Structure 1
Amino acid sequence: MCALVTADWSPYARNKYFRKIELYSMVWHREVNLETCSLTVAQNGGPIVILRDRAKLLKMQGPSHQPIVAIYSSSGKLLNSFVWDKGQLVQLGWSSTEDLLCIQEDGKVLIYNMFGVYQHAWDIFLMGKEASGSKIVSATIFPSPGATGLAVITSANEVFVVTNVNENHRRVRQLSKCPSAPTAWTVICEERQTKVIVSKNQNLYTLQSDDSPVLQKIDLGAGSEKYSIVSMAVSPDYQKIALFINNGKLWIKSSDLRSTYRLYDTQQLSEPKQLVWCGSDAVVCYWGSTINVIGCTEDQLSYVYDYPVFLVSEIDCVRVLSAESHHIIQCVPTVVQEIFQINSESPGCFLLEASKQFQKRSHRANEYIHIVKPKISSAVTQCIQAAGHEFNASIQKSLMTAAQFGKCFMTDFDSSEFVKMCRVLRLLNQVRDPQVGIAITYEQYEQLGIDKLIDMLILRRYYYLALEVSKYLRLSSSEGSERILLHWAYYKVKQPVVDKNKVAKEIYDKIGRSAGISYIDIANEAANNMNVQLAIRLLDYEPCATKQVPQLLKLRQENEALVKAIESGNTDLVYTVILRMKANRGLDAFHMEIRNYPMAEALYIKYCKSHNKRALHEIYKQEDDYNNKAACQIKEAYLPGNTKEAGLLEAQENFKKSKSEFAAFAAMMCEEELKLIKHQKQLEDKLKKDFLGLTLNETLEKLLSLKEVKLADNMKSEYKVPDRR
């Protein structure tokens, strides 16, 4: 086993090793030629975008000179490709959310997902910063705390930085101007500030805020004026920087340029094709056929290739991509080295050997256990930790079996770490499968966390696998199933839909009445993607009417909204829909429509009685409801400022049009009231006293009090008032 594990180990420095681990045989090997293509690779085993590099082609192939952008998984499986028919590309890169960023020389940044679907775009030069009409000549995309940033240099040597491209309101900062066109540059992004390091010949400048560039003097030795810094790279933790000089020297310094870790002579006068970091402990230089791994303080080793490769820096390794394979080079983790190193005497090594002998039913197992028993806890922990750093499933199994074997000799061992590692290994092995193609290391997984890994599965549309992972790891619904199903539903509603009812039912069957998922959100997504009918069907499953009805109104489905509001019994919702319908339709059309909903019509009439008398009259007119119309006219007749006679006459006419017995009596009463008003006006003219507004009895009493007995007697006779009254 040790011989198998250490076969690809290379000695390095004092008691250290580097190892090369093949992850995939690339599926693309017949499609991709690295000599005629340029690659951009996402971090943590993410997708790969390939662009035909026109500078490397002797003759353009095909009828069009427009390059083709092809996106692959890290195992080389084609995800999508499309012709680039936009502006001149300056730089491609990947965001922390695995979106493809395409920076054009005119300042536009176009965003695509990993399947080549256009998302949106924004303009660096239209965000409060003027670039004097110049173009972008160089750009880089870099990790920033919890996000992704980008920096550009224009033809006028202006420097612009965006520290978070994922923000809705991106802030573009203009740094101090470069003294002249740089020969090399890089970005150092720290939590509180972002600065750009640029070189011009032998000089280094630090650019930040709007201050003048800070010149950093570096002694390149005798005749330094002849030399230039032609390439630079910053470590993943932004603590170190590597500078390559065209005399073959490699400087490794602290990122503030104050401390020097190493000055190494590579014996190569030409600029390396790539200068990247392997974690934060070694610099990797690539010269066509040789990869040199140079430590920060000592030693170096070389790997020779007879085919083109492409390097990708990671936090704990460097990825090496070729047309045939995808492998990593990394410093062997300490715990792995302690177990598998030749002649190792670590507890984990003895426990692993004891486990092997036990499986062979050899008595030597007892001898090894006797040796390791005083440190059995440490041995078990070593085996568990080492298993996490291995990619080979059989080696993982051997180490975990050894840990399980060692547990038998402990009385108070906490199994939680063992169980956790078993789950993590199953997860990592699954996502590393070539079909999924997320070639993530254990250290990268620890940095990202399970939430981010599930996001990566969701982005690749492996929804079922993501659900199984969340169940296996026993994640809460909000962290697992609900979040995954919501993204799955978003994906479903974005697709061209033939049968809306079928798709809506399929979504409901998966999601059900899950408390953490709102059908409103899914319906919104459907509507935003021009699937309005699907959105309406989805809203049928929303249990909360106060959310459902406003969304239906937003989709201009007023009749549907009215039905749902009536079913809910919430009069406020019904009023909301009624008033929206009234505002959006002609009055006649609205009145004709509202007649089909008796409850809504009753509420509308109630509303009109208080707020809109004219509309109320129109309703009664359309319905031939003469009694209610007359009743309204009587009420209005007695309002201050209105003429009673006119209102009562109209009411009398409407009562006469009605066929009911009550209407005949009401018409007679209107006539009596009109006659009383007429008499009261005559009395006022004759006696110069106020009579209007009094009842018949009050009028008689007032006449008697004024000693007008004859007038009172005449009114009594005319109105047939009984003697007793």
Structure 2
Amino acid sequence: MDPSAQWKELNKKYYKFHQFNPITGEQKNLDFYYQHIAIAKWGGPLAATKNYDQVILMRTDEILKDSIVFFSNSGKIMSRIVYKETDKIPLFDFLDDEHLILLKGTGIYYIIDPFKGTKKNHDLGEQFKQNPIQRALVVNNGFVLMTMNYEFYYVNNAHEPEVQQFKASQLTKQPEHWSIIPSQKSSSGKVELLIANPEGGILHIVENEKWKIYYNKDKIMNDIDKKLPDLRNIKMLSLSPTYKTLALLQYYGQRWIIAFIQNYFESSEYRQMPVDLKEEDVQKEESAEKDLSILERPRNMYWCGDDCVVLQLQQYIVLVSNDSYTKIKMSNQHFSLRSEFDGLRVLTQKKNEILRKLPDSYINVFEQLSIKPGAQLYSAYESFESKSPIEDDELRSSKQLLSEAVSDCIKCAQFEINPEYQIKLLKAGNYGKIFLGTQNLDPNIFNETARYLRVVNSLRRSGGVGGRVITYEQVLQLIKIPDIMIGLLLKYNLHYLATEISSFLKFQIKQRASIYTHWACCKVEIQQDDDKLCEIIKEKIKEERGVSFTQIAQKSIEIGKQSLALKLLNNEQILAKRIPVLIWMANFQSTNNNSYYEKALEDAIISKDSNLIYFVILKFLQTEMNETYKFNALSQNPISQAHLDYYLKHFDNKYLQKYLQYFKKFDECGLFAINQAYQQKNLEEKIKFLDQAQKYFGEDPTDKFYKRIIAEQIIILTDLKSEVEKIRKKPNQHIMDEKPINSIMEAFFIKDKPEFAKEFAKTYKIPDRRILLTKVKTLINNKKWDELDKIMSEKNKKSILIPYELVAELLMKADQEERGIQIIMKMPDVEESCRTLIKIGQQSSAVQVAINNKKYQLLYDIKGLISENQAKALLETHLSQNQK
């Protein structure tokens, strides 16, 4: 098409429909007006299915009969999937990853792959069967929905749905329209909703926050927000691609108005543009409806880049800017629109086009009778190419004009859709560059433009499967999100193209690795000998870094190639990746899976990573395999056995008992039962566990002590239980204190078995201070005063492990008051010793301690506390002697 033809003027700005390619396939028979239509972002495919809400007589629509159909950009059927359901469809659109989502009013939805034609079912739950979904919109790879009671819900990831409810909207009438601000574009960093409030203004709801209303002076209390305009009868609203400008469609006094608001919710300035939406030359269906706000209401409202809003009528589209509008009649009513970053994609039965605002460079070059430097340079090059050069000395002689001309030709080539004109414009720019030199021009601009244009034209693929009708500006945006760009190519198995683009644009290792991993996952599906297939994959990716053999092995398992999966896994060098896949493989294959667990355990031991070893042990124990096999497998290696011991003792009491019994470690079984006994609050339970411990120690022929000690404990607890019952307390009341466990240690000390006490304390993690106090108590009860003095001096030499006050209290209770006083007088803190002695009525001893330690100031400090005559005389005598 001639670049200068079919321009549409909108107040001295020009727009144009640029045709990518004609429609040659079955799409030319598609009824756009009466069907559900979805168009994928970034120039992707089209999907269609029947709309049973539309009652159309005398139409068969065989092309969509009982199915959802996907069309390539040439209009040919790419795939189809059976769909015979007639339920209401509130959402029929593409997610960002180019899966189609079809959501029914009941909350059941399908995610469909347009290339493979596969369908996955999901259900949001019973709540939406009771309260059906009325409308929904896609946001990234999730969606927001509105129910019949006007409440809003959010699903962040449609592939793994978790429903979150927005705060109550408190709407009592159905909103005319609503829109979504995705989290990456919102000021809050959360998903936000803009809702046309039926009572006027805009309702703003932020995820997990309460709603707020704007542009409604009757509802606003804030003085700042009251300065915003009062906007009523909002029928539609739409945000520009950059989310900087909000467009509103209002209906006032039988006329339509578009309002543009920049910095919405902050600025009080807005522009209004009245528009005429009548289609007087279009035959309408007969209707009893008389309300013009319904009859003339547009089907939808879109942005064309950031430049203007486009209203879609039955057979017209209306381009509206903040100071003008123009109506354009389409060939018929069978067309569909999709906003893109830099324009508006237009699909009809005959054409695949994009409507865009023409940049100044394009106008300068191609406007008819243009005398701009760009037009002169382009004309001069065409004459030079046709070997009939024209006079262009004036342009050549002015570096400024020539630089402007070259720049216009390059920018024009970037904007142009037709590869033939792209090449001519670049050649024209290069022709001017010869006379310009490099000082007045970026030397990389030609190479960069040519590189990106090559990518653009490669992505189009002449309308074939996976081809994208995409522009230069859109490619620049996609390059910023390489994971999505490569992911869209891999969806259609375009591995070679993805590799070339990745190399051409110098993407990171991560993107290249994802390409080769995806290629290998596709490769394993072919029917070929496992050994040969493994070698082919290894040879192909041996030079590539970051390729995930674990992901390829997982794919092999899914399609039933276990042998190939193991061969591939052996090439995965990172054990932390390999081991989880082996466990997954074992779980995936419900029978004969022991070899996978054993291999995982072997690799975990080789890694010497405790986290991995514990991970495998945990998975081992969670299986339903024979316990004998589990314990044998996990105990064959000393490393795994040590980890198993530690894990069971600290985290799994259930398996610990079985494990100890299996290996006939009856002494440990007994100690474990004792430990369990003293964790119980109920006396009967304590006795029960002690009975078990006694049986275990009975199985141990080497035990000469524990059976007797436990028997004594059972007698103590049984007597205690009897006493409790006598005083009519509840049998399960928590009345046990630390006495029983202390009595076990006391028994060890009484029998002069300190090594037993030490082992007992170590096993059950009894604190050192508690052990020492138990020993001190035993020494006091047995009146071993020399040993008591010895242990007090040894253990309290560096720090106070045995509290002096507590020992003194024990001595006094044992009728050893003098010894108790002597213990307090030995306290290293003299002041504390004095005050403690005074507190227990030993004032003379307190004064003597201060005198012995020459603490004269302390004598003055305690003088007011001394009341006994003997102590007072001793203090006064010493103070008077000291003054002399």
What is the distance in 1 between the residues matched to 2:351 and 2:106? 36
In the alignment, structure 1 residue 358 sits paired with structure 2 residue 384: yes
Cα deviation 1:667-705 (Å, max 9, x = unaligned): xxxxxxxxxxxxxxxxxxxxxxxxxxxxxxxxxxxxxxx
2-structure distance, mates of 1:304, 1:551: 56
Q: 1:18 to 1:117 in 2, by over 3 A?
A: same
2:368 is the counterpart of 1:338: no
- For residue 250 of structure 1, what is the aligned residue in structure 2? 257
Please give the residue correspondences for 1:433-452 in structure 2 after superposition, counting only pairs within 5 Å: 433-435=462-464, 436-449=466-479, 451=482, 452=484
Task: Give TM-score, length-normalised by structure 2.
Answer: 0.59
CA distance in 1, matches of 2:626, 2:157: 50
Q: Percent identity?
A: 22
**Within 5 Å, which residues of 2 pair with 1:175-574?**
175-188=168-181, 190-192=186-188, 194-200=192-198, 203-209=200-206, 211=210, 214=213, 216-217=215-216, 229-238=234-243, 239-245=245-251, 247-254=254-261, 256=264, 258=268, 259-267=270-278, 269=292, 270-364=296-390, 366-367=392-393, 369-409=395-435, 410-412=437-439, 413-432=441-460, 433-435=462-464, 436-449=466-479, 451=482, 452-479=484-511, 481-493=512-524, 495=525, 499-512=529-542, 514-528=544-558, 531-544=561-574, 547-548=577-578, 551-556=581-586, 558-559=594-595, 570=606
Q: Structure 1 counterpart of 2:187, which letter?
A: E
For residues 99 and 312 of structure 1, the distance between their equivalents in structure 2, rounded to whole angstroms, comes to 16
Cα displacement string for residues 280-328 of structure 1 (whole angstroms, at most 9, x for unaligned residues): 3222233333222222222424233135211222232222211222112
Indicate the SS of the match to 2:332.
Answer: coil
Q: 1:613 to 1:167 in 2, by over 3 A?
A: closer
Residues 565/509 of structure 1: CA separation in 2 closer, same or farther (3 Å cut): farther
Q: Distance in 1 between matches of 2:42 and 2:605?
A: 54
Displacement after TM superposition at 1:6 (Å): 0.5
1:96 aligns with 2:96: yes
- Is the Cα–Cα contact under 8 Å of residues 177 and 213 in structure 1 kept in the other structure? no
Q: Which residue of 1 aligns with 2:694?
A: none
Q: Please report the RMSD computed on the Cα atoms of aligned residues, expressed in angstroms.
A: 4.4
Distance in 2 (alpha carbons) for counterparts of 1:546 and 1:140: 40
2:118 maps to what in 1? 117
Which residue of structure 1 aligns with residue 41 of structure 2? 43
Say if 1:62 and 1:377 are closer, same or farther in 2 by CA, change over 3 A. Answer: closer
> Secondary structure in 2 aligned to 1:453?
helix
Alpha-carbon distance, 1:580 to partner: 9.8
SS in 1 for 2:702: coil
**Residue in 1 aligned with 2:702?**
641
> Residues of 2 paired with 1:298 and 1:218: CA distance?
29
5+ residue gaps in structure 2?
A: 219-231, 280-291, 587-592, 647-658, 665-699, 705-884
- Compared CA separation, residues 90 and 533, structure 1 to 2 (3 A): farther
Looking at structure 1, the residues matched to 80 and 640 of structure 2 have their Cα atoms a distance apart, in angstroms, of 61
CA separation in 2, counterparts of 1:563 and 1:149? Answer: 39
Q: Do the aligned residues in 2 keep the contact of 1:37 with 1:56 (CA within 8 Å)?
A: no
Shift of 1:19: 1.0
Give yes or no for contact 1:204–1:217 (8 Å, CA) kept in 2: yes
The 1:489/1:172 distance shift into structure 2, 3 A limit, reads: farther
Tell me the CA shift for residue 349 of structure 1: 2.4
Query: Alpha-carbon deviations, 1:331-377, whole Å to 9, x = none?
Result: 11222112212333433223223322332344535525425533333
For 1:690, the equivalent position in structure 2 comes to none
Equivalence for 2:671: none
Distance (whole Å) between structure 1 residues aligned to residue 97 and residue 470 of structure 2:
15
Contact 1:274 1:285 survives alignment (8 Å): yes
Query: Does the CA contact (< 8 Å) of 1:19 and 1:331 recur in 2?
Result: yes
Q: Alignment partner of 2:19: what SS?
A: strand
* Contact 1:149–1:163 under 8 Å retained in 2: yes
Name the CA distance, whole Å, in 2 between partners of 1:582 and 1:476: 38
Q: Which SS does the other structure have where 1:178 is aligned? A: coil
Aligned-residue offset at 1:135:
1.2
Deviation of 1:558 after TM superposition, in Å, equals: 4.9
| Aligned residue type for 2:459 | V
Indicate whether 1:17 and 2:17 are aligned: no
Q: 1:150 aligns with which of 143, 148, 159?
A: 143
Provide the TM-score with structure 1 as the length reference.
0.71
The Cα shift of 1:45 comes to 0.9
- Residue 141 of structure 1, CA deviation: 2.5
Aligned equivalents of 1:53, 1:383: Cα separation in 2: 46
Alignment of 1:52-91 (within 5 A): 52-54=50-52, 55-58=54-57, 67-84=66-83, 88-91=88-91
Q: Give the Cα–Cα distance (whole angstroms) in 2 for the partners of residues 110 and 531 of structure 1.
A: 28
How far the C-alpha of 1:555 sits from its partner, in A, is: 2.8
The answer for the alignment partner of 1:646 in structure 2 is: none
Partner letter of residue 308 of structure 1? H
Contact 1:159 1:176 in 2 (8 A): yes
Paired residues, what number?
Answer: 596
How many Å separate the matches in 1 of 2:210 and 2:334? 43
The alpha carbon displacement at 1:607 in A equals 8.6
**Whole-angstrom distance in 2 between the partners of 1:149 and 1:571:** 39
User: C-alpha displacement at 1:425, in angstroms?
Assistant: 0.8
Query: Relative to total residues, which structure has the larger strand share, 1 or 2?
Result: 1
User: Contact between 1:549 and 1:573, CA under 8 Å: does it hold in 2?
Assistant: no
Residues 521 and 373 (structure 1 numbering): CA distance in 2 closer, same or farther, change over 3 Å? same
Q: Which residue in 1 is equivalent to 2:734?
A: none
From the superposition, tell whether residues 544 and 253 of structure 1 become closer, same or farther in structure 2 (CA, over 3 Å): closer
Q: In the superposition, relative to structure 1, how do residues 305 and 551 fare at CA in structure 2: closer, same or farther (>3 Å)?
A: closer
What 5-or-longer segments of structure 1 have no aligned partner? 220-226, 595-599, 618-638, 644-725
Contact kept in structure 2, 1:12 and 1:301, CA below 8 Å: no
Q: Tell me the amino acid that sits aligned with residue 197 of structure 1.
A: I
Distance 2:361 2:137 in 1: 36
Cα distance change of structure 1 residues 579 and 184 upon mapping to structure 2, 3 Å threshold: closer
- Which deviations, in whole Å up to 9, do the C-alpha atoms of 1:84-108 show, x marking residues without a partner? 3676422112222222222221234
| CA distance in 2 between partners of 1:59 and 1:283 (Å) | 35
Q: Secondary structure at the match of 2:179?
A: strand
Q: Following the alignment from structure 1 to structure 2, what is the Cα–Cα distance between the partners of residues 591 and 185?
A: 61
Q: Of 22, 31, 40, which residue of structure 2 is paired with 1:33?
A: 31
SS at match of 2:507: coil
Letter in 2 for 1:396: Q
Q: Contact (CA 8 Å) 1:254, 1:261: kept in 2 or not?
A: no
* Conservation of the 8 A alpha-carbon contact between 1:112 and 1:120: no
